[in-house]
Amino acid sequence: MTEGPFGQPRKSSLLTGLLRLARGDASGILSFGHTPRAFLASLIPLATIPLVSAAIAFFHGAIARSLTDIAAALCLLLVPAVVSHALARHWQREAFWLRFAIACNWCHFGLTIGGFVLLFAIGVVIGTGGGSPSSPAAAIAVAILCLGILGYVLWLHWFVARAGLGLSGGRAALVVLATYAASFAILILWNPPLMVRG
């Protein structure tokens, strides 16, 4: 596998790895880098959207909020790596962790792009089909689709943890649950419910 100028795998290797993992082929994990530079490179696409959003808020005068958003976004980006590293070290799988973390980051980025494309396509289909987005049938269809997407995201994270860290199914599930629980906790602290805010 060849690497790009910043230590990340070539785009062809990334795409190959993503497609293989997306269809349940564990060999896709070998398409990703395993260096600290490659890990940092895998964070850049994920950080782009929250950083741009915070920059817009900053230039509109919401300085405190933009700084808080940046801090929270960085925590959300890094918490999966921190939690999975702690578990990998506990289970003596630390040697495999870096490649797993890099693959996981690229998969999250791929899922984000895929999700945007899919939602756009759904909007186009509903619009051209003459249906109303607020109709009960459309709402049910979107709800079912969202559940399907959520199920696939959880499965992919579980599969990458199992393939990347060489874990049993139960331990891979624990990695997923612990990661999402920590991320959810940060989201609650970042944006507490309105009733808690008063």
pLDDT value at residue 158: 96
Is the pLDDT higher at 179 or at 6? 179
38-52, 86-100, 136-150: segment of lowest average pLDDT: 136-150
Q: Which two tokens stand for residue 145?
A: 């689709």
Q: What percent of the chain has pLDDT over 90?
A: 39
The percent of residues in the chain predicted with pLDDT above 70, rounded, is: 82
**pTM (two decimals):** 0.79
In the predicted model, what is the mean pLDDT of residues 157-183?
A: 95
Q: What's the pLDDT band for 96 if we cut at 50, 70, 90?
A: very high
Long-range contacts of range 186-190, CB-CB < 8 Å, 24 or more positions apart? 186/72, 186/75, 186/76, 186/79, 187/76, 189/72, 190/68, 190/72, 190/75
Q: What is the pLDDT of residue 33?
A: 84
Q: Which of 31-40, 72-81, 111-120 has the lowest mean pLDDT?
A: 111-120
Q: What is the pLDDT of residue 116?
A: 79
Most confident of 22-26, 33-37, 150-154, 170-174: 170-174
Assess whether pLDDT exceeds 70 at residue 6: no
- Average predicted confidence (pLDDT) for the chain: 82
DSSP class of residue 135 equals S
The owner of tokens 């993992």 is 21
Residue showing tokens 């976004």: 73
Quick one: DSSP state of residue 7? Answer: S
